[in-house]
Structure 1
């Protein structure tokens, strides 16, 4: 890596565009810049992206030649869909007989409401045979006359035989149309869902394509030669060419940027990330070092878009306090109205002089709202009592935090509320925070349960400008360790700068053979390499679902080789202390079960249970002290890459379980080099052996190899 190399991340928000510079060697933040988002500029948000980049480089005294990685995240696609500000789409259905009948039913997509009063602008045309060029040309003529530039081609079973879709796609592109073929969007069965997903991609394609061109030309003019990447909705990034083809993958990427920051900068392995702004908190999960994703919906209809599983609670740093006055005054709720909606300043950001003579009263922030939102009227005017005020009153907001206020002022702001509640300022502040974090805590606990995160490994990490108003008290009330992310106010652009290239390939393959599964794995691996990932940095997780016959491969990789700073590594005693804290045992009781240059595996004394097999709890830590894998019962074996070709299949066979439902291979994690290959999604013994051998191939025969196995019941 060249000296002074920079990774640049730019996050385009609704109000501001933030840019950060990260040292590519140390991954430390070295500078940041903020400019207004340029919605109204002739070049749209592209202008703000370039302006933020120029200001950032000027501020840190660096040049375009130093940039080795540049990525941006944008809410443009999300906003377009939420507001219904999309382009018309021509939908071409193909087929005769029963296939044609089902294709024609897709004209009903025009009834889907994507925004209040706005439906998908879809014009449907049917073509019985894809190779009927005269018929196809007639359809394209009508679309052209209607001013339609973006087209979707859909044919039943195109995931098995895409020739028809490809033929029409080539013919339409030759005439200058932007075309989305459904088999390119998803290789899963389900004609309606696959076509819905493709149509959502197509309605935002023209403007996203134009933005991509503007950003690329501006970056080229700035002299930056690093490839431009775009944030995806699943926590990774993709090349600009991929964004031009599948802009839908940028939808809902805003929250994903923050989670990427928690994953990469904070090295959160098992836990919950809470990104708090002024009005709301986005809550998401990281499980075993991976973001939790799910298929998402638009307009009440399901799609094949895999996006971050983010759950939003209407409580943020600016959320107003709601009270019941009278004989038994109490705090009843916090939010969802925020101070800025009411047009009021936060009381804690006033001065003691402003708050002179403060008295408590209640207002309706917006006409029609309940008049139970607490405010103080004082010499300096009217101020809102917020979550940020309560957190500052209790000293929970660090001096360096974006939301820090003078504690004396915050306590003065809460004094009238405390008097009404019949308590002291501390009691009033706790009452506010208790009410505010109650719904946040409920969602956190539900997500921990949904994703089966071991309670002893759960950590809460807060990000966003309002992090200190929500995360500390949530952690305290839930009894879980918590921390505020470094530079939490710019955690999203940091996440963009540090994110890995990601690609997901899904195939429905009934009775998939080992070779077919390996082919899906290779396809995902080659896809990220094609987008610029260094081959040695690529990791691929494979899942085989025997119920749905779905083979899924998720590949991730960095654009450059990342060498670890050995001077920053922890000692074995330090690592032992971290593992002991997670396992809840004395550090002296731990045993080192395996160790490589990158990881140490600790085991605690076996847990004996009456009439049941004893358990062997295990923790895998990287040399930075991050718990990368936790298991309540696992077996560990260390060998070499050379010996692994025989040792790993033997271990898999020995620990495959059998029952009425057939055989179930163990859940396997392979530690080889700096990577942990997660093969726990494969149940078949033969398939698991093939994938394990693939993971070991290419490594020096003397390199350490560690297998961590969990026997399935």
Structure 2
């Protein structure tokens, strides 16, 4: 029997270290991990560290370059370039005549955008009245090039609907030998100012990102890797290297996206909050109905048309120092032991903590002098959130942050004396203070995204996960757990991430044909980047208030099939569904099923609120993949689905002052959950359903989960 040695490799380039993991391509089990210093100062930049990490990883995992079927990396390079002001000068070519020229000329003000203290976005502007006048375009290009421009952007009012002018300028400008881009290529949303600003910022980081991409690509090819190189996006997916060369801005803010991608793919979260806790801070993000939550990102203090993970950061991490005043714990952080240059007290040997005395210090000049330290036989130590978690037994065996119980309790003992309580009471006081700030953000995100608290789970990642997530779960009553291999959840996320593309169009009164065209464009884009066509899923949303049609397509670069030796049995799946439904198992019944999913439901009667039929869709692993508070479930076949769905949608469509609102529909077919809930117009919904089922056999079963809208 031939052993399958194929692996997926994920590499996460951080500010200090570059982490790499190898994941078995069949079972998705972790088979190797390494950590090397990030090579900021090497002649090849961060590319050198990526290749070094890959070489060490292959040795550790006992694999060769030929075993790599997928290779992706995430990098903070784009983010750091903007934060540090290390960007290229942009030559902005504004197009317009008559009254329209006034608006275009105003775009020269982007040269005032502040990147870092004392550093502004380097920009040179030249105006073009007629984009088809090649001599005038060449003269404009020479003006900005003479001013030092390294990359060119063309922009014109109404360029989304009439891109011919921008395209003509690019055709002529390419002869200058500089990278070129048109604003409509970066985003197809209306708004000249915001669209151009997004394109200009993208261009500013383009040359540096191109240089790194070329180095990494050449290096891994030389190393013998034949799998195409992918790059982490800021929305939790990956893109091809060619796509990154066109839109490097998509990699900005991608650091937190890698972690939540890991939680989504490895931990199979369908509804919940992911908390990635490091030494100094916690990044908090949301997974709703099996998808990461994204929004238009703020870049350089301004909103952009860049769709990025909605991540909110709290200055509380595993190394956050305890603060004490007036005989009580007043807070934890934002200063950490790392900033103070002190070791964690809980990682000291018991002998080193002999004769420990409590003291307070200023970690940095200007800080309050209320940060707690221990002066003991072994020197000075910081009292941190990790110390409290270990003292209270919140850190599981084998965890990255686990310390000896004796040391942790000895570290908390002087604080307990100062507070007039025992060690457990002191530890709870510290953890309460630390998680209070995190809880406020978690509650806000649950409200903002209308998560169902009955199904929402808290999942902790990062090296400091155990210092926040377990105590927060216990305090809030939400289900909580620490992700497997939490300390390398980010590179795991990179290794498991799906190819992703989002297409947005503003189409007033969009027809079925136009909606399907946007869907097809997104699907074709991920296939062009290497996704297997048979596994692509597309979610379409139509926003009638803004006339925006949005299609998000995701797919794997190969059809991944997990080892099915450890799947949940009927009893385990029922238990999982009942736990999520907060119902006794005897009150839960099977409503429908496919080879990949089982649909469970129960009935809830509430005084004055009538009857509800909550539903849970559970996969073969026993993971709840979809939770709906009130739904009708029907089983049909692909051949009969057209008529059956039309009747279901007709009966559940709501009519009112706000217009027609079709129900939220999800279809279970094969191994997919086709989410059609983003469409409110019944005919468009049914057209999308037909599109989803078109390639399926007529006898294949289909389960429809139909959720009426209020």
* Residues 180, 201 of structure 1: 8 Å contact kept: no
1:238 paired to 2:239:
yes
What is the DSSP-based 3-state SS (H/G/I as helix, E as strand, rest coil) of the residue aligned with 1:516?
Answer: helix
Counterparts of 1:43-442 in structure 2 under 5 Å? 43-325=44-326, 329-442=327-440
Counterparts of 1:653-692 in structure 2 under 5 Å? 653-692=650-689
Distance 1:468 1:115 in 2: 35
* Residues 390, 403 of structure 2: 8 Å contact kept: yes
Cα drift, residue 142 of structure 1? 2.0
What is the DSSP-based 3-state SS (H/G/I as helix, E as strand, rest coil) of the residue aligned with 2:350?
Answer: coil
* Residues 601, 613 of structure 2: 8 Å contact kept: yes
Q: After superposition, give the CA deviation of every residue in 1:671-695 in whole Å (9 maximum; x if it has no partner).
A: 1111111111100011111001000
Distance 2:582 2:397 in 1: 32
Change (3 A) 1:639 1:374: same
Distance 1:21 1:414 in 2: 39
Cα drift, residue 144 of structure 1? 2.4
What is the DSSP-based 3-state SS (H/G/I as helix, E as strand, rest coil) of the residue aligned with 1:456?
Answer: coil
390-399 or 428-437, which deviates more: 390-399
What is the DSSP-based 3-state SS (H/G/I as helix, E as strand, rest coil) of the residue aligned with 2:625?
Answer: strand
Cα drift, residue 627 of structure 1? 1.1
Distance 1:248 1:631 in 2: 36
Cα drift, residue 185 of structure 1? 0.8
What is the DSSP-based 3-state SS (H/G/I as helix, E as strand, rest coil) of the residue aligned with 2:273?
Answer: strand
Q: After superposition, give the CA deviation of every residue in 1:371-410 in whole Å (9 maximum; x if it has no partner).
A: 1111110111111100011111111112211111111011
What is the DSSP-based 3-state SS (H/G/I as helix, E as strand, rest coil) of the residue aligned with 2:9?
Answer: strand
Cα drift, residue 609 of structure 1? 4.4
* Residues 124, 147 of structure 2: 8 Å contact kept: no
Cα drift, residue 656 of structure 1? 1.3
What is the DSSP-based 3-state SS (H/G/I as helix, E as strand, rest coil) of the residue aligned with 1:561?
Answer: coil
Residue of structure 2 aligned with 1:489, choices 484, 487, 490: 487
Distance 1:592 1:351 in 2: 55
What is the DSSP-based 3-state SS (H/G/I as helix, E as strand, rest coil) of the residue aligned with 1:285?
Answer: strand
Distance 1:521 1:588 in 2: 42
Cα drift, residue 608 of structure 1? 5.1
1:707 paired to 2:704:
yes
Residue of structure 1 aligned with 2:593, choices 580, 584, 595: 595
Partner residue of 2:552? 554
Q: After superposition, give the CA deviation of every residue in 1:618-666 in whole Å (9 maximum; x if it has no partner).
A: 1111111111111111011111111112221222122211112321111
What is the DSSP-based 3-state SS (H/G/I as helix, E as strand, rest coil) of the residue aligned with 1:477?
Answer: helix
Partner residue of 1:473? 471
Distance 2:75 2:148 in 1: 27
Distance 2:295 2:603 in 1: 37
State TM-score, norm by structure 2. 0.99
244-253 or 614-623, which deviates more: 614-623
* Residues 469, 482 of structure 2: 8 Å contact kept: yes
Change (3 A) 1:416 1:43: same
Residue of structure 2 aligned with 1:605, choices 588, 603, 606: 603
Distance 1:642 1:506 in 2: 31
Cα drift, residue 564 of structure 1? 4.0
696-705 or 643-652, which deviates more: 643-652
Distance 1:633 1:564 in 2: 32
Residue of structure 2 aligned with 1:644, choices 636, 641, 651: 641
* Residues 114, 298 of structure 1: 8 Å contact kept: no
* Residues 28, 562 of structure 2: 8 Å contact kept: no
Distance 1:152 1:367 in 2: 44
Q: After superposition, give the CA deviation of every residue in 1:310-354 in whole Å (9 maximum; x if it has no partner).
A: 0000000110010014xxx00001000001111111111111111
Distance 1:116 1:673 in 2: 54
Partner residue of 1:3? 4
Cα drift, residue 2 of structure 1? 9.0
What is the DSSP-based 3-state SS (H/G/I as helix, E as strand, rest coil) of the residue aligned with 1:642?
Answer: coil
Cα drift, residue 566 of structure 1? 3.0
Q: After superposition, give the CA deviation of every residue in 1:239-285 in whole Å (9 maximum; x if it has no partner).
A: 00000000000000000000000000010110000000000000000
Distance 1:662 1:345 in 2: 62
Distance 2:371 2:652 in 1: 61
Unaligned runs of 5+ in 1: none
Distance 1:564 1:33 in 2: 24
- Root mean square deviation of aligned Cα: 1.2
* Residues 236, 260 of structure 1: 8 Å contact kept: yes
Q: After superposition, give the CA deviation of every residue in 1:542-600 in whole Å (9 maximum; x if it has no partner).
A: 00011111100000000111224332221122111111111111111112111000111
Distance 2:627 2:74 in 1: 32
* Residues 91, 145 of structure 2: 8 Å contact kept: no
Unaligned runs of 5+ in 2: none
Distance 1:570 1:25 in 2: 18
* Residues 323, 331 of structure 1: 8 Å contact kept: yes
Distance 2:474 2:390 in 1: 16
552-561 or 698-707, which deviates more: 698-707
Distance 2:257 2:140 in 1: 39
Cα drift, residue 97 of structure 1? 1.6
* Residues 603, 611 of structure 2: 8 Å contact kept: no
What is the DSSP-based 3-state SS (H/G/I as helix, E as strand, rest coil) of the residue aligned with 1:87?
Answer: coil
Distance 2:36 2:562 in 1: 34
Q: After superposition, give the CA deviation of every residue in 1:188-209 in whole Å (9 maximum; x if it has no partner).
A: 1000000010011000000000
Cα drift, residue 167 of structure 1? 1.2
What is the DSSP-based 3-state SS (H/G/I as helix, E as strand, rest coil) of the residue aligned with 1:566?
Answer: coil
Distance 2:604 2:322 in 1: 50
Distance 1:164 1:540 in 2: 32
Partner residue of 2:582? 584
* Residues 285, 310 of structure 2: 8 Å contact kept: yes
Partner residue of 2:443? 445
1:630 paired to 2:631:
no
What is the DSSP-based 3-state SS (H/G/I as helix, E as strand, rest coil) of the residue aligned with 1:559?
Answer: coil
Cα drift, residue 117 of structure 1? 2.3
Distance 2:594 2:208 in 1: 49
Distance 2:639 2:452 in 1: 34
Partner residue of 1:463? 461
Distance 1:174 1:551 in 2: 36
Aligned residues: 709
* Residues 570, 624 of structure 1: 8 Å contact kept: yes
Partner residue of 1:545? 543
Partner residue of 2:612? 615
* Residues 600, 616 of structure 2: 8 Å contact kept: yes
Cα drift, residue 613 of structure 1? 4.6
Distance 2:580 2:401 in 1: 31
Cα drift, residue 61 of structure 1? 1.6
* Residues 522, 552 of structure 2: 8 Å contact kept: yes
* Residues 126, 143 of structure 2: 8 Å contact kept: no
Distance 1:298 1:239 in 2: 23
What is the DSSP-based 3-state SS (H/G/I as helix, E as strand, rest coil) of the residue aligned with 1:195?
Answer: helix
* Residues 590, 603 of structure 1: 8 Å contact kept: yes
